[in-house]
Structure formats: structure tokens, C-alpha cells
Amino acid sequence: MENKVIRERIHALRQNMKAAGVHYYLVVTADPHGSEYINDHYKEREFLSGFTGSNGDLLVGEEECLLWTDGRYFVQAEQELEGTGILLMRSRQQGVPELEEYLKSHLKEGMKLGLYGFCVNASLGKRLEKLMKEMQGEIVYQNDLAGSVFADRPSDSAAPIRILEERLTGETCSEKLLRVREKMEERKADHLLLSGLEDQMWLFNIRGDDITCNPVAYAFTLISKEKVIVYLKEKSIAALREKEENVRFAEVNGIEWHPYQNFIRELPEHLKQAEKTFGRKAKVMLDPGVVNYTVCRIVEEHAETVETKNPTELMKAVKNPVEIGHIEQVYLLDSVALTRYIRYIKEHRKDGLTESGAAKILEEYRRKIKGFMDLSFPTISAYGANAAMMHYEAVPGRDAVLRPEGIYLVDSGGQYEGGTTDVTRSIIMGSITQEMKKHYTLAAVGMLRLQNAVFLYGCTGRNLDILARGPLWQQRMDYKCGTGHGVGYMLSVHEGPQNISWRSGNAKEAVLEEGMLVSDEPGVYIAGSHGIRIENILLCEKRDCNEDGQFMGFKPLTLVPLDPEGIDLSYMEKSDIEALNQYHRMVYDRLSPHLSEDERAWLKEQTCPKYQSADF
């Protein structure tokens, strides 16, 4: 069936393109800060295409219209784009050109490519600029042509900001600024420009609420050797100035609060003044993968850029002992809540619960935990075939009813005072096919093998990915996403630079350091049938050090049982069975003191070593 609403929106954009003399227009999923999850105000791509996934690039031409997204969203995008006239481009699939390849083969000499530079990162913007020059064309980036089509556009938030106590952070803002300025000195930089929201929240020990489930505030920061200028929404500044301790905080750390909307106007003025002071152009340190194209162009016009990864990214990824102490306690209590929820689902699987109704019940379990603030992302509560869509979101009234058969997947997490959680379990609801049991077992084996990895310091996630993916590859199967991502501390649930993925050339590839968190989440996704994902969060730790080097390993923070109804012994080696039993012993020992007598009896049944390696 034709989707007239989306077709009319694309037509309106093409009218704007024609008026601006633009032949192609690119709409990315982004805000001015390179955020993965964005405020509704910036969801232009979603408005224009109807595709609701968190990753996707829409390219609108005079005739054609295409949307690129990754393997997490292929099934979802295919459904949501039906009838829109938009062609789905499955990224990284054989025979599918990527965005820049497509443009290179379709652009003609002298054409213009439009995009809104304030919401495109500088790395992409520069590559497209180079491509247009090669084609003797032009990139037009000043005007938000898609934004003028965005009817009833939500306003961007300006929620109150709070400054965290040192008991939660383990390091003061002054101490962090000292470390950052040392990195600036190493690169001979006069200024550091920060636009990534998580980087700024971590550096200043502040938290906001401008993006759903992400405790961040919209901000830009310019750091020099003498002072710090932070650009915030005026409502946020007003809230900060209401408390005397916040005023003292700014004075102690040399921070000036400036209105967010003044940043673009004041940035050139600061750089011109610096040039007068130094008698040369200022050197500005920035990350082109985060800073947007418009801001980068301004800096390049008035200063010399020092392009590098933000030093704050690695600093915040390595949790300090105070943070780790809070994180471990939060994961323990979060695991208790999810374990109780699994028992509830098992006992009420015949009661006609819906996916969205079940998600609300889980949220209530978490809300009872002291220090709960919010979910860390919208809960993925997916039954049956819906679970094959990795980032499925249940819509009340249109969601599935849970039945006493098949598999129910729940991927969820919470924001707490003391940590951010993320965990996935696939729950066996009753009878399942032998194929489903095979798939569940292979995912469980992969998760356990990665969790128990021992590796030399210097390894990145690319060295370890095969441990989780190997059991599936042996069966000629794969999941079209990474195996693991970093996790923030009272921040966004996805965090870099560390990750676990087999793909080479990953921009986020980084050495796994002691104190980093990483998820471990292999899965199986069969369109139209079922989806399975088993996810634990791991803490990277040092192990033995000898003449061969420093060995590393992981400590599981997630303490939630796997489902014994999904295990097929024939797909497990002796070491896998021992690993499962060892993990379940730990789960029972750690959780049982927090459970009632009935709950302990149920958990004992779930975690008892049903499969002995001697029986193999």
C-alpha cells in the first residue's frame, strides 16, 4: 500500500531542493554533537522516511530516494519503508554500495549536494566536500532544507542540570581538567573544543536530561590554559546559578557559563582574540568524528586545527575504583530485579501479557531499586518473530501477546545513582523447536567463551570477537552487528572507544584497558521466526603478569541465570558445560542473599548443574 504521508514529505523536500539548486540532499541521524541517541527535535530523517531505527542515512535525489542502515535494522526498515518509494540499502552487504560509493557513481559534473552542516560530523562532511570537488561540484551546507519540512517539530529540551558529588565520581572536575590540559600540552594545543555531550558531562561531573534515557545536557566547551567556557541552554544556566555551591564550583574550576545560542557567533571572536594574543593562529584540538562540519569549518577559517580523538573519551571509558564500586553494586541489584522478572514471566506466560505490558512490569521492578532515575534506553520487549528485529520497540495496541511457547527476548537497562546497566535475556516460554534450542545454546556458548577470555594486554575487541562469534561461524551463521560496546557511568548506554567487533578499520577500535566496561552479546536472528540474544556486561581486569607479558581477563557484572530450557548439550564442549555451571554457581551465591525463600528455591532450580561435564 502506498504511504502518501511520507511521499508528500519527500516531495516537499524536493521542492526546497529545487529552489536551492540542490540535486541531492543528505539527511543523517544526528544532532549538532554527534550523539548516537538524539532528541526528538533532531529526528528529521525519521520524520521524512518513517523509519524509526536509531541509525540511518537518507539520500534524496531528484528522482530516487534511498536509505542506508545496518544489520540491526534490516527487518524493521523493510517493514517501515514499505509503500514510501524509499529504497532500502543494506549497509555492508555484498553488492550494496555505501553512501559515498553511490554518490560517486551517480553524481554528474557541476552538481550540488546539500546537507545541514550543523548536524553532520566533520569527518563525513570533509569526505563529501572532497568528492564534490573531484566532480567539479559544490557542497551546500548552510541551510536546513529538511528542517523546514519538519511540521510540528518538537522543541529541544533544556532540563535542569545537577553537579555530582565526589562520592559518586571519585575524581574532581579540577583533577580531570588538569589531566586534559596535560594532553593539550602534549599536542601543543592552545584550545580544546569539545562538542560530544558525554565527554562534557564526564569532565565537569554534571548530568542533564535533554535526551530521553541519556542524562546529558546540550553543550559546547572551549578550554584554554587559563579558563573554560561552557555553552549551555539558558534555562540550564539559570538553574545552575540558583545554588551557591554551583556558583563556587564554577569559580573554583575557572568555568564561565555562556548561552548555547551564542556559540557560533562567539567562537570566531575567541579565535581572533587568541591570534592577537599569540601573534599567530591559535591551535585548536578537536575530534572531527564528533565536532560537526559547520563548527569545524569555522575553526579552520580562524585557527589551525589539531585533529585527534578527544582525550576525554578514553579517560571516561576507564572507570576509577570509586566508580567501579558503585557499578558493581548497581549491577547486583539490577540483576536481582531482572531475575525476579524472569520468574514472573515464567509463572504468568499463560496470562495474555503483551510485549509493552511486560516491559512496564520490568520497569516497575527497577523503580523499586534505590537510586533508580530512568531507563537507560527504551526496553526492547520482543516475542517470537518480533525478536528477529534487533532494536524492535513494542507499540501498545499493535504489539504481540506472549504465549506459552517460543522465545521472548528482553533487552533492557536502567540509569541509577551509581551506574548505567544493560542486559539481555532470551526467555523460553514453553515448547520450542530443535533449531531454536540449537541457536540458544550456540549464543550461550559464545557469550560464556568471551566472558572467560584470558588475553595479553594490547588486544582490542577485534582480537576477541571470534570467541563469541566462533560457535555460530562453525555452523555457517552470523549476526549482523558487533558483539560488544562500552557502557557509560551514569551516562549513555553505548560508549567508546572500546568495542568488540571482527571488522577491520573500525574507527572505535581501542586497546582493552583495566577498568573498561564492555558488553558481550552474541545472538541469532531468523526473520519471521525468532530472535535470541544473551548479553552480559563485563569489567576488564588485570590478571597474571609474567615474562610473557601482562595478561587480562573479564569479571562479569551481570548476574542473571541463563535459561536451562534452551540448552542442548550436544552443542557444548566439556569446558562450555563447566563454564555454564561455574557462572550459575556465582549467580546463585551472589543473588540468593537478596531473595525470599521462594525466590531462592526457584533460582536454585534454574542454576543447579543439570549437565555435568562427566556426562558428556
Task: Dump the DSSP string for 364-377.
Answer: HHHHTSTTEEEESS
Give domain 4-140's CATH number out of 3.40.350.10, 3.40.50.1470, 3.40.50.620, 3.30.390.30: 3.40.350.10
Q: Return d(Cα 416, Cα 426) in angstroms, integer.
A: 24
Q: Return d(Cα 59, Cα 24) in angstroms, integer.
A: 7
- Is the separation of the CB atoms in 603 and 588 below 8 Å? yes
Q: Return d(Cα 591, Cα 80) in angstroms, integer.
A: 41
Q: Please give the backbone phi and psi of residue 124, each rounded to the nearest 5 degrees, phi first.
A: -65, -45
Per-residue pLDDT at 580 exceeds 50: yes
Q: Return d(Cα 457, Cα 545) in angstroms, integer.
A: 10
Beta strands at 255-259 and 228-232: parallel, antiparallel or unpaired: parallel
Query: What are 542-573's pLDDT values in tens digits?
Result: 999 999 999 999 999 999 999 999 999 999 99
Looking at this protein, which amino acid is placed at residue 60? Answer: V
Q: What is the dihedral of CA 187, 189, 195, 200, to 10 degrees?
A: 80
Across 155-183, average pLDDT: 93
Per-residue pLDDT at 418 exceeds 80: yes
The predicted pLDDT at position 505 comes to 55
Helix or strand holding residue 425 (H, E): strand 423-428
Fold (CATH) for 162-309: Creatine Amidinohydrolase; Chain A, domain 1 (3.40.350)
Q: Return d(Cα 194, Cα 204) in angstroms, integer.
A: 12
Query: Residue ranges of the alpha helices (H) in 24-165?
Result: 44-49, 74-80, 99-106, 122-134
Per-residue pLDDT at 577 exceeds 90: yes
Per-residue pLDDT at 458 exceeds 70: yes
Query: Which residues are CB-neighbours of 317 under 8 A, at least 6 positions away?
Result: 486, 495, 496, 497, 498, 510, 513, 516
Q: What is the dihedral of CA 142, 230, 244, 327, to 10 degrees?
A: 110
Do 4-140 and 318-615 have matching folds?
Answer: no
Closest CA to 363 of 375, 350, 381: 375
- Is the separation of the CB atoms in 346 and 358 below 8 Å? no
Cell numbers standing for residue 85: 518509494
The predicted pLDDT at position 92 comes to 86
Helix or strand holding residue 380 (H, E): strand 380-383
Neighbours of 186 (CB within 10 A): 11
The predicted pLDDT at position 581 comes to 96
Closest CA to 278 of 211, 190, 158: 190
Radius of gyration of the chain (CA): 25
- Quote the percentage of the chain above a pLDDT of 70: 98
Q: Return d(Cα 42, Cα 211) in angstroms, integer.
A: 11
**3-class DSSP state of 340:** helix
Per-residue pLDDT at 614 exceeds 60: no
Neighbours of 332 (CB within 10 A): 16
Burial level of 549, CB count in 10 A (0-12/13-18/19+)?
exposed
Looking at this protein, which amino acid is placed at residue 303? Answer: A
Across 333-357, average pLDDT: 97
**3-class DSSP state of 225:** coil
The predicted pLDDT at position 12 comes to 95
Query: What are 369-405's pLDDT values in tens digits?
Result: 999 999 999 999 999 999 998 888 898 998 999 999 9
**Average pLDDT over the chain, rounded to whole?**
94
- Quote the percentage of the chain above a pLDDT of 90: 88
**3-class DSSP state of 444:** helix
The DSSP bridge partners found for residue 456 are 551
Secondary-structure class of domain 318-615 per CATH: alpha beta
Cell numbers standing for residue 409: 527476548
Q: Please count the residues of the chain.
A: 616
What crossing angle do the helices spanning 434-451 and 461-473 adopt, rounded to 10°? 160
Q: Where are the domains of the chain?
A: 4-140, 162-309, 318-615
Q: Return d(Cα 49, Cα 262) in angstroms, integer.
A: 32
Q: Return d(Cα 475, Cα 492) in angstroms, integer.
A: 34
- Is the separation of the CB atoms in 213 and 374 below 8 Å? yes
The predicted pLDDT at position 506 comes to 47
The predicted pLDDT at position 616 comes to 46
Cα–Cα distances (Å) from 465 to 216, 576, 595, in that order, read 31, 17, 35
Across 440-462, average pLDDT: 98
Burial level of 605, CB count in 10 A (0-12/13-18/19+)?
exposed
The lowest-confidence range among 164-173, 199-208, 238-247, 351-360 is: 238-247
Q: How confident is the model at residue 504 (pLDDT cuts 50, 70, 90)?
A: low
Query: What are 24-49's pLDDT values in tens digits?
Result: 999 999 999 999 889 999 999 999 99
User: What distance, in Å, lies between the first and last C-alpha atoms of the chain?
Assistant: 54
Cα–Cα distances (Å) from 299 to 190, 284, 312, 398, in that order, read 13, 8, 20, 48
Per-residue pLDDT at 437 exceeds 50: yes
Neighbours of 6 (CB within 10 A): 21
Q: pTM to 2 decimals?
A: 0.92
The predicted pLDDT at position 279 comes to 92
